[in-house]
Homo-oligomer: A and B are copies of this chain.
Amino acid sequence: MQGLMQDWPLLIHRIIDHAATQHGSREVVSRSLEGPIHRTDYATVRQRALRGAKRLAREGIKPGDRVATMAWNSWRHLEAWYAIAGVGAIYHTINPRLFAEQIVWIVNHAEDRLLMLDACFVPLVEKLAPALASIERYIILTDAAHMPQTSLRNAVAYEDWLAEADDDFVWAAVDERAAAGLCYTSGTTGNPKGVLYTHRSNVLHAMQVCMTGSIGPSANDSVLCVVPMFHANAWALPFALPMCGAKMVMPGSRLDGASVYDLIEAEGVTHSAGVPTVWLMLLDYMTTNAKKPSTLRQVAVGGAACPRAMIVRFERDFGVDVFHAWGMTESSPVGTTGTIKPAVGKLEGESLYDQKAKQGSAPFGVEMIITSDDGVRLPWDGATVGRLKVRGPCIAAGYYRQETQILDAEGFFDTGDIAAIEADGTMRITDRAKDVIKSGGEWISSIEIENLAMSHPDVAEAAVIGVPHEKWTERPLLAVVPARGSARDPAGLLRFFEGRIAKWWIPGDVQYLEEIPHTAAGKINKVRLREIFRDYRLPDDGV
């Protein structure tokens, strides 16, 4: 028997409608690419998104069409998302840091009809444009005054283009399971894979993120969206912040420590979210310049494991609560968050930092299991590690235009991460499956060694890979970027591990690098690192 509740599909445009009516005067503040701070509010964002949707419809964009964006976080990018989804089309975010050939590949694979891009990316895109066959028009996210000279096909300044429509438009009435967003994962191997979000998944995911225990922004918070909108939906913030009415602060392209710090202070930022790399720059800036944040209460850290040493610095030196999050493009992306649950008892100091270094618990709507390689479920005892698999309404079921079946018989998606889960549901990532070091038939966690290494004062960044070993199959090699002005003391560094991890986990050697290679998403590029050390042999080829 069907129930008798209203049919009210979960559609993205309803979020901005809600923000405009319930939080209409709440500010959206952006550091514009042109320099000055730009201020608008949710009511105006909605009006302009309606105009954008009407203008897109006049451009011939129909439900299901893909419209690409290549842009930093700004009010215009935000309007563009709601306009595209609001006409029933699909916003396709492109990471400008991808290799040129990857960008070309995904635009062609997605068959994007329009590309909306920041003026700063015009030179890059002009080089690729001859290969981008499907793009009918380039819309530069700027006004006439800042419009660059460009050869891009039918190029137009966003403000001019938008001015050709009014806001008398009715959002497209699409099914809640219609595609709304497209984001390709930037893997280190193989072609990118397109995750195709639905209106429903984005709305449910934003609700999850607004729940207590998750990032949980509120109407009284000011939130700095450090994480770029081209990086896995900017962790839902462009949906969650209007949903709850938080002030939205967008950093544009300037993510250096000084710029981020200044924006936090100027806009009374209370919460932020981003990858470790950005936080490292902020921490170093504040330390070097003896600055303290005056309003910042919490940072969510994800995208890559947050080094324990970073948690300690934020909390002990700056009084900022660190909130560890785990997820991936395929999980919308927020999977788990590091709320400290009462089951662990009252934690303080080191034991609290230990707990916060774990990736945390799943919210309602994310089911987790760990299994052996052959799919047998493993116990939640905090020690047993296995393949982390997830299931839920905001988890990918497949990739765009790929036939590959990516779910197991029970509907779980294999994250490619290796994790342990404690009895209380707290999850700890120990590795990427492809980065696990297999030594003497056992697994060694590269992430745990990296975290430990990064807590040493001589280490700026660390990465661990497995290198071949005759007797043990593989042994860990520690690659280190030394901290500025520190001594190079490999033996001392290795002694530091004694008593802190199992003896057989201690790396077989330390190699110093000027920098550690990263992927376009800011993660350590271990494929590249393994190439660098392809011909390397451990000094004694032994333990």
Query: In the complex, A62 Cα to B75 Cα: how many Å?
Result: 52
Interface residue A184 (Cβ < 8 Å from any Cβ of B): no
How far is it, in angstroms, between the C-alpha of A23 and the C-alpha of B219 when the chains are bound? 27
Instruction: Render A463-476 as a binary contact track against B, CB cut-off 8 A, 1 for contact.
Output: 00000000000000
Per the bound structure, the CA–CA distance linking A394 and B423 in Å amounts to 34
**Contact check: which of B25, B199, B213, B364 meets A14 at CB < 8 Å?**
B364
- Minimal beta-carbon separation of A132 from chain B (angstroms): 21
Q: Give A243's nearest chain B residue, CB to CB.
A: B364
Bound together, the chains give a CA A26 to CA B213 distance in angstroms of 15
In angstroms, how far is the closest chain B Cβ from the Cβ of A3?
Answer: 3
Task: Kindly report which residue of chain B lies nearest to residue A407, judged by CB atoms.
Answer: B6
From A117-125, A396-404, A513-521, give the one contacting chain B: A396-404
Which range holds the interface residue count of chain A?
35 or more
Is there a chain B Cβ closer than 8 Å to A210's Cβ? Answer: yes
Copies per assembly: 2
A-B CB proximity, top 6 nearest = A3-B198, A1-B64, A212-B218, A3-B179, A22-B425, A8-B393
A219 to B362, CA, bound (A): 12
Task: Check B195–A4 contact: CB distance below 8 A.
Answer: yes
Q: Tell me the complex Cα distance, A339–B210, Å.
A: 15
Q: CB within 8 A of A393: which of B5, B342, B395?
A: B5
Asked if residues A395 and B5 are in contact (CB atoms below 8 Å), the reply is yes
**A423 CA / B22 CA spacing, docked (Å):** 8
- Interface code A185-202, partner B: CB below 8 Å = 1, 0 otherwise? 000000000011111110
B178 adjacent to A6 (CB under 8 Å): no
Q: In the complex the two chains form, is B8's CB within 8 Å of A392's CB?
A: yes
Cβ contact within 8 Å between B2 and A342: no
Render A360-390 as a binary contact track against B, CB cut-off 8 A, 1 for contact.
Answer: 0110110100000000000000000000000
Q: A10-B393, A339-B219 are in contact. Are A198 and B2 (CB under 8 A)?
A: yes
B361 touches A22 (CB 8 A): yes
Contact of A25 among B208, B367, B424 (CB under 8 A): B424
By the criterion CB–CB under 8 Å, are A341 and B220 in contact? yes
Would you call A341 and B4 a contact (CB within 8 A)?
no
Interface of chain A, helix or strand or loop or mixed? loop
Q: Are B398 and A4 in contact, CB atoms less than 8 angstroms apart?
A: yes
Instruction: Please state if A217 and B208 are interface contacts (CB–CB under 8 Å).
Output: no
**Known: A14-B364, A217-B212, A364-B207. Contact between A3 and B178, CB under 8 A?**
yes
> Which residue of the partner chain, among B2, B198, B204, B211, contacts A244 with CB atoms under 8 Å?
B211
Those of A1-51 within 8 Å (CB) of chain B = 1-8, 10, 14-15, 17-18, 21-26
Identify which of A6, A23, A392 gathers the most chain B CB atoms within 10 Å of its CB: A6
- Interface assignment of A307: CB less than 8 Å from any CB of chain B: no
Q: Does A526 make an interface contact (CB < 8 A)?
A: no
Q: Tell me if A326 is interfacial: C-beta within 8 Å of chain B.
A: no
A385 smallest CB distance to B (angstroms): 18
Taking a contact as CB atoms under 8 Å apart, the answer to whether B178 and A2 are in contact is: yes
Complex-state Cα separation, A5 to B399, whole angstroms: 9
**Considering the chains assembled together, what is the distance between the CA atoms of A6 and B198 in angstroms?**
10
Residue of B nearest to A181 (CB): B3
A397 to B221, CA, bound (A): 35
Residues facing B in A326-348 (CB within 8 A) are: 332, 339-343
30 A-B residue pairings within 8 Å (CB atoms)? A1-B63, A1-B178, A2-B179, A3-B177, A3-B180, A3-B201, A5-B332, A5-B395, A6-B391, A6-B393, A6-B394, A6-B395, A6-B397, A8-B365, A8-B392, A14-B364, A23-B424, A24-B424, A207-B364, A210-B211, A210-B213, A212-B216, A213-B218, A213-B244, A213-B245, A218-B339, A220-B340, A220-B341, A243-B364, A244-B364
A90 interfacial contact with B, CB 8 Å: yes
**A155, chain B: closest CB distance, angstroms:** 27
Q: A21-B425, A210-B364 are in contact. List 15 more A-B contacts (CB 8 A).
A: A3-B198, A3-B201, A4-B198, A4-B396, A6-B396, A22-B361, A22-B424, A204-B207, A207-B208, A210-B213, A212-B216, A212-B217, A212-B244, A219-B339, A247-B342
Q: Which residues of B contact A393 (CB under 8 A)?
A: 5-8, 10
